[in-house]
Structure 1
Amino acid sequence: MLKKSAVAIAVLLSLSSQTVFAENSNNASDAEQADIEKIEVKGVRQRLQKSGMLSDSIMKTEVISSEFIENKNAVNLTEAIDNTPGVRVSNECSMCGVKRIMLNGLRGEQTTILVDGLPVHSMIAGYYAVDAIPTTGLDRIEVARGAGASLIAPEAIGGTINIVTKAATENGATVDVSVGEDGNQKVGLMGTGISDDARTRVTLIAQYDNRDQVDEDNNKVNEAPAQENQIFTVRLSHDLTDRDNVILRYSHVDSEIFGGPMLGETFADGTINSIGDVLSSFDDTESSQLFEDGDVRNDYTGKAWETTEWIHTERDEVSLSWLREINDDLNMTLATSYSGHIQDSFYEGFRYYAEDDMLYFDARFNYYFNNNHLITFGSDHRSEEMRSTSSGESNANYVSDSFDYNVLGFYLQDTWQASENLEVNMALRFDSIEADFIDPKKSGVEIDKSILAPRVDIRYGHNDNWTSRLSAGRGYRAPLSFFETDHGVLDASLGFEIDIEELERSTSATYALSFEGDKLTSTMSLAWTEVEHLATLSETDAGVPLLSQLDEKATVTTADIALGYDVTDTLTLNVTAEGFFYDDAFKSSYSLAPVEERLTMNADWDYKGWDVFVNLVWVGARDLSDYGYEGYNQVDANGNVITSSIKSTDAPSYWTMDMKVTKSITDNIDFYAGVNNLFDYTQVTEGESPLFFDADGGYDVAYIWGPLQGRQLYAGVKASF
């Protein structure tokens, strides 16, 4: 795969260089060419955005800049967004490393990911593929918290994350290469080019990143899996006329995750040196004991396949958007996006294959009614088909989790500038939703509903320094995936049971008070969300995974305050304190304990070509029994738990620190080095393995409450041309 990445990068460099050379082949003088290179081109879309004639997001949006992402040395989306206000990335499996991005304390599946404002992530794409979303070529990440935070994402009960691709404004290329401990590697490349007439702009992006398995307690099974990602993206923007712009984006993602037995070690079925060795060794006969003396803290002695989780993902994303400025008061956007997601996976002997195709259409109009009102209205349609096959289908009673999902929506929004200090944004969506698990053994349509989802956002400027924002709205979501809680396909050899009849429906309200001074900025916010018919995963008496819904309503409240202070022109300090408060219903729906208290502090010092960034995070103690934790470290020869080996349910507080130092060698070349988790803190070094046995002696891998990877050093170089 490394060879494939090298070829892709070489092609990208060639294309970028050809674009630059083509623009400069008009025999102009060197001085004229230098002037041309400094020009930043803005087209129809940028002009309308600047004039306020485009409207999508209907609430305050927090922006994670490319500079901040670079300071964190984030390789992918989860690393870039983790520990930002109101956001938590939850690692929910020590074998496969599945990540969930949680907003305002809600669950990861209640977050909607957009790319350049359009949905390109299907239902199952949000579980393993988020670690394969690259940071190369990102202009920014926009985070909008709260139900219905975007006109086209009413199902975002927790909020939306919009990944914005860098638009080409000049000719250039950037190369970023880094290496680190535990096999960490990254090669990122971006090339941008503009045509002679400045109407055509292209951005080319490629990234390869890799990391090895990590076994912190040296018991021959990993706490963090190996992962290899290869991504290629092209974004083409063209102004057809002075009033027309089209944007075409294509991206291909190839990701492979391998977790479980440490490659190169010897197990009950022999020495395992490759993923192919593991998959070919499967014989469907289980070992009497998986660990020495039956203790998960000792060496793994079972067969390699018995703890293997392997996931290979391929995804193609295509989006096309046409913006037409009809006149000075009216513009129209027609957009479509497609995502083709393929997952091939092996879960401890259970083979699961799925193809998930999602198609989206949107027709939107923005009408400048008068100086005080911008009216946005339109319609969209989303259809998704997921088809799965598995090794369990030979069972006569097997029911698959394949589904069809269709939504037709209409929306209306009024952005009202009531006065110089007061802005009111009112939006209303009407949606018709149909969700159907299509297995012949599952008759009928599970969900066939129509719903109104209103939202209002109010911004009031008290004076030049103080601003209040109030948001309230409703949202909905159709729970369809068995990956939602503890990736429920792990025990699906007997099939899937579905007891879903209602949409998850949420009501949320948020208040934020912001201060902006010459040196000090601050934002205090309070958010409340109530969810009805919250999905939950359990098992039937026969051990079949059961996707059902809670009878009671579930509520979560979050409070946070963020402070930023410019100590000098070169030194900035930021502090964020957060609290998350869950009721018992919400706690019962989590597979892993979420964060309850968190303090984040970072400093950025830029001085004479040196840039030093330090990020310090404190997570408060938690009572794991509140979230249903119960486990044991050891079983006897008969597979019965040894009660004295019960695992602790007291998760202590802890600190982690990351640091990065960058030195500008020239105007175009930067060298950097850093360390993640400087204190080398993990729950494993505290004596608590994520592996455990439940009360019935069943083995599992998700007794997780703290970091699973220790200290990691890295170094790299970034060059721009």
Structure 2
Amino acid sequence: MKLFYAIVLLFSFSAYCQTGSITGTVTDGNGPVPAAHIIVSPLGKTIAADENGMYAVNDVPYGSYEVIVSTVGLKTVRKKVSVSNATPVTLNIVLQEDTQALEEVVITGTMKEVSRSDSPIPVEIITPKLFRKNPTPSLFEAVGMINGVQPQLNCNVCNTGDIHINGMEGPYTMILIDGMPIVSSLSTVYGLSGIPNSIVERIEVVKGPASSLYGSEAMGGIINVITKAPYKAPRISADYFFTSWGEQSVDAAIKFKAGKATSLLGVNYFNYNVKADKNRDNFTDVTQQNRISVFNKWNFDRKENRQFSLAGRYVYEDRWGGEMNWTKQWRGSDSIYGESIYTKRAELIGLYQLPTTERIFTQFSYNWHDQDSYYGNTPYMATQQVGFVQAYWDKQFGSSHNFLLGAAMRYTKYDDNTPATARENGTNMPQKTPLPGFFIQDEWTITPKHMLLGGYRFDYDRNHGGIHSPRVAYKFAPNKNNTVRASFGTGFRVVNLFTEDHAALTGARDVIIAEALNPERSYNSNLNYVLKIPTETVLINFDITGFYSYFTNKIVGDFDTDPTKIIYDNLNGHAISQGVSLNTDLVFPFPLKVMAGISYMDVFQKEKDALGMETKTQQLHAPRWSGNFIASYNLPNNYSVDVTGNWYGPMRLPVLPNDYRPAYSPWFCIANVQFTKKMDFGLEFYGGVKNVFDFVPKYALMRPFDPFNKNVNDPVNNPNGYTFDTSYNYASLQGRRVFLGVRYNLL
């Protein structure tokens, strides 16, 4: 009997050790599809096709598998294969253009490459194809094309801004580049406008809790900027456009090979140096900007398609806004008001897959950010360095469990000339913040229709101790046309006032910190339903999401108690962000596609007043109603027309006591139209009109004739005690403008 068991065990072991391979090419009918994603399920092996569309999956144990092949813009193909001997199984795949529902590969929701429809976390995507429907010079403006994502200008003079997700302010949104926390703290103020669209392959947006994977600061959502892979980029590309306001933007990139490496070198330059004062308040309506960004990314060929990439970027920007007669000789003076900001920034990002049989990845990043600025006569000089390293193990257990285990370390060094880095005796003490942590996640495919994701992250902050961030998500897909997703998670955030809140830097108000601020905590939940209705005349997609977030210890700036101060304090109560958003896609058999979205949000805080009564206050810059729309129509002879826009309902604004400016903004819409003509050999011309309805806010600066508040105590000419104020803003002061441009791509 023992001999029998030994023979059976030996036979089983030898059968298990027998392996074969799957090889082939991926084409789209016109040629190879480089970097197409090939997933062998349930084995969990994931590779990318080479630049000739060829692939080889080795060490595949004998058995039956499903091969999933996908790439952005083409339909996903699934094929069953059986590996039964050492002879390679040849599987050639022809992908077709997806004119109905895109099956993009996404990574942000789970840190794994999966089909967007298979992800248990809802992920929204913007691609360069969508960018080109309304050309913009930076990421900051481009993300406004997503419903529920609001680029918000916070200052009418220097035009700083942040990105709101579901009504929550910018610091609650974690900005990643290739999965690395590159844009944070100091760089959130101007860093977003320095990311050119030319380096972007796609942008993935996750609304709601993601702290268990990406850190405790991802309380409101994540915007992950996926940069272009060199081997997927055109050999030469260029894009130039200018507007009737004098803005000029140029992108140029070239791809080249060096041995076993492929490199993409790109340059972006944006310039705007035309002073405009259409509202005649003697202040520039839009900041003057001179910005250059140089980007270089390398991909290295390795055995068995293991991944290795390095990317670097350098940004320099000189921007200023202020009185029309301001020049640099007045920088920092109290004679002529100007806000002048010099920004220098360097980044390094890397990914390396270890040469092991297990899928183990290491990621690292470093960024240096220097800001030399004056807000009137108030200086703000700051430098920040952030180093980050992460390793994770991606493992498939059986056919049901997709496991992830990782550890991360982030180290931040920050120094400035504010009280944030000063000792009690007045000497300087830079902030040094190590933040180690580890995370674990399991995707459990209970049945083909049910999936459960559980995740947990632990970070250790030396000032606040251990930080626990659990997350759970559930997906139910009874068929390919119906999908339900639900998720819940928590968040934790330590606020850096002087790096995150531009209002604290303008010099227009004094900053008062009422007490030692405690970290914020949040509890977040999302419920998402996707419905696809295919008919003979139109394909209709509905994507509806309900969200709810509850905050304790929320840190808020009180703009109302004293017009000369911003008083920061932990909320003596709680805050809530809740609402629902609906996205629709309509694809017709004729060349028309329409996308539209609408969001309803109720974002507010409740706290007790001096009498112990609970009061409710609406969040600033959080409209209850908002939406977007995109319509594209292809005309004969390679002409096309795109209509895009965003609309917003009333939002609460920061006003002064007895302010003559309305406390709420009006309903407004910013619409754009573009016409494109595609020529031969990758050349196309485009032009159109931005802000077609010429909407411009009626009110902007308070007392622009006295920006240094030298005459505020005049009871005759200033009976209400008004002070100079730059924070009353809800839309750009740029009116209607024409744009023209040209693009070229040599594949």
The alignment's TM-score, normalised by the length of structure 2, stands at 0.77
Code of the aligned partner of 1:679? F
Q: Does 1:73 align with 2:135?
A: yes
In the TM superposition, residue 404 of structure 1 has moved relative to its aligned partner by 2.6
Structure 1 residues 402 and 95, CA gap change in structure 2 (3 angstroms): farther
- Report if the CA contact (8 A) 1:209-1:230 is conserved: yes
Report the Cα offset of residue 661 of structure 1.
Answer: 0.9
Paired position in structure 2 for 1:462: 478
Q: Is the 8 A contact 2:153 2:731 kept in 1?
A: no
CA contact (8 A) 1:508 1:529 kept: yes
Map of 1:527-546 to 2, 5 A cutoff? 527-538=547-558
Q: CA deviation at 1:400?
A: 7.1
| Deviations 1:594-639, CA, capped at 9 Å, x for gaps | 22211322211122311211013322234x3xx55235xxxxxxxx
CA contact (8 A) 2:388 2:411 kept: yes
CA distance in 1, matches of 2:728, 2:218: 28
1:338 — aligned with what?
Answer: 366
Aligned-partner Cα distance in 2 for 1:719–1:541: 55
Aligned counterpart for 2:217 among listed residues 145, 148, 155: 155
Contact persistence 1:392–1:492 (CA under 8 A)? no
Alignment partner for residue 688 of structure 2, among 674, 677, 682?
674
The 1-side partners of 2:665 and 2:149 are apart by 20
Which whole-Å CA distance do the structure 2 matches of 1:474 and 1:430 have between them?
Answer: 12
Paired-residue identity, %: 21
1:45 and 1:323 in contact (8 A); partners too: no
Residues 164-215 of structure 1 show CA distances to partners (whole Å, capped at 9, x for unaligned) of 111123561101111112221011012223467xx42222221001224442
Q: State which of 678, 685, 702 in structure 2 corresponds to 1:691.
A: 702
2:522 matched to which residue of 1?
Answer: 506
SS in structure 2 of the partner of residue 332 of structure 1: strand
Matched-pair contact (CA < 8 Å) for 1:152–1:380: no
Q: Is the CA contact 2:389–2:410 (under 8 Å) kept in the aligned structure 1?
A: yes
The answer to whether the 8 A contact 1:204-1:233 is kept is: yes
1:216/1:396 CA distance change after superposition, 3 Å? farther
How far 1:41 moved relative to its partner? Answer: 4.9
Deviation at 1:584, TM superposition (A): 3.3
Equivalent in the alignment of 1:310: 340
Unpaired runs of at least 5, structure 1: 1-34, 266-271, 285-302, 435-446, 632-642
- The yes-or-no answer on 1:611 pairing with 2:640 is yes
Farther-moved stretch of structure 1 (711-720 vs 148-157): 148-157
| Distance change (3 Å), C-alpha of 1:487 and 1:38 | same
How far apart, in 2, do the equivalents of 1:60 and 1:164 lie? 17
Q: Cα 1:82–1:542, aligned 2, differ >3 Å: closer, same or farther? A: closer
Task: Give the deviation of 1:123 after TM superposition.
Answer: 1.0
Contact 1:492–1:545 at 8 Å: present in 2 too? no
1:490 equivalent in structure 2? 506
Aligned amino acid, residue 34 of structure 2: E
Hey, what does 1:710 align to over in structure 2? 735
Shift of 1:459: 1.2
Aligned to 1:516: 532
Q: Deviations over 1:141-171 (max 9, x none)?
A: 0001112266123311111100011112356
Task: Say which is worse superposed, 526-535 or 393-402, in terms of deviation.
Answer: 393-402
In structure 2, relative to structure 1, the CA distance for the partners of 1:662 and 1:430 (3 Å cut) is same
**Contact 1:657/1:676 (CA < 8 Å) preserved in 2?**
yes
Match in the other structure for 2:111 = 56
Where in structure 2 are the equivalents of 1:229-268 lying within 5 Å?
Answer: 229-242=291-304, 244-262=306-324, 265=325
2:285 is aligned to 223
1:371 to 399, 414, 425: 399
Measured in 1, the distance between the counterparts of 2:459 and 2:385 equals 21
- Tell me, in whole angstroms, the C-alpha distance in 2 between the residues paired with 1:590 and 1:115: 32
Q: Residue 82 of structure 1 aligns to a residue in which SS?
A: helix
Structure 1 residue identity aligned to 2:184: S
Contact residue 174 and residue 184 of structure 2 kept, 8 A: no
**Which residues in structure 2 correspond to 1:12-411 (within 5 Å)?**
40-41=34-35, 46=48, 55-56=110-111, 59-148=121-210, 151-169=213-231, 172-194=235-257, 199-212=260-273, 213-242=275-304, 244-262=306-324, 265=325, 272=326, 274=327, 276-279=328-331, 282-284=332-334, 303-304=335-336, 306=337, 308-324=338-354, 326-327=356-357, 330-389=358-417, 402-411=430-439
Contact 1:214 1:225 in 2 (8 A): no
Out of 669, 678, 681, the position equivalent to 1:664 is 678
CA contact (8 A) 1:124 1:481 kept: no
The number of equivalent residue pairs is: 621
- What CA distance in whole angstroms lies between the structure 2 residues aligned with 1:81 and 1:596? 19
Q: Which amino acid aligns with 1:700?
A: D
Deviation at 1:498, TM superposition (A): 7.5
Partners of 1:647 and 1:492 in 2: how far apart?
Answer: 18
Q: 1:352 to 1:621 in 2, by over 3 A?
A: closer
Flag the 1:567–1:240 CA change in 2: closer, same or farther, 3 A.
closer
Distance in 2 separating the partners of 1:177 and 1:574? 27
| Aligned partner letter, 1:488 | A
1:572 pairs, out of 589, 593, 610, with 593
Structure-2 change in CA distance of 1:390 and 1:204 (3 Å): same
Structure 1 Cα separation of the partners of residues 344 and 47 of structure 2: 31
Q: CA contact under 8 A between 1:350 and 1:391: conserved in structure 2?
A: no
Q: Structure 1 residues 428 and 612, CA, compared in 2 at 3 Å: closer, same or farther?
A: same
Which residue of structure 2 aligns with residue 630 of structure 1?
656
| C-alpha contact (below 8 Å) 2:409/2:435 kept by paired residues | yes
Residue 676 of structure 1 deviates from its aligned partner by 0.9
- Looking at structure 2, the residues matched to 501 and 649 of structure 1 have their Cα atoms a distance apart, in angstroms, of 28
Distance 2:420 2:433 in 1: 24
8 Å contact kept, 1:115–1:164: yes
Could you tell me whether the CA contact under 8 Å between 2:672 and 2:692 is conserved in 1? Answer: yes
1:400 touches 1:496 (CA, 8 Å); kept in 2? no
**Counterpart position of 2:13:** none
Partner SS for 1:418: strand
Q: Which runs of 5+ in 2 are unaligned?
A: 1-28, 38-45, 50-56, 58-67, 71-104, 113-119, 608-614, 705-711, 713-719
Partner of 2:100: none
In terms of mean alpha carbon deviation, does 366-375 or 542-551 score higher? 542-551
Asked whether 1:415 is paired with 2:448, we answer no
* CA–CA distance in structure 1, aligned partners of residues 246 and 394 of structure 2: 50
Q: Report the Cα distance in structure 1 between the residues aligned to 2:320 and 2:393, rounded to whole angstroms.
A: 46
**Equivalent-residue separation in structure 2 for 1:140 and 1:221 (angstroms):** 37
**Structure 1 contact 563–574 (Cα < 8 Å) conserved:** yes
How many angstroms does 1:392 deviate by?
12
Cα gap change, 1:431/1:366 in structure 2, threshold over 3 Å: closer, same or farther?
A: same
C-alpha displacement of 1:122: 3.2
Residue identity in the other structure for 2:646? V
Amino acid in structure 2 at the alignment position of 1:253: V
Contact 1:491 1:545 in 2 (8 A): no
Residue type at the aligned position of 1:516: K
The question of whether the paired residues in 2 share the 8 Å contact of 1:214 and 1:224 is answered with: yes
In 2, the alpha carbon distance for the partners of 1:542 and 1:578 equals 32
Contact 2:212 2:469 in 1 (8 A): no
Return the offset for 1:379. Answer: 0.6
2:604 alignment partner AA: D
Q: CA deviation at 1:412?
A: 0.6
Query: 1:183/1:114 Cα in 2 relative to 1: closer, same or farther (>3 Å)?
Result: same
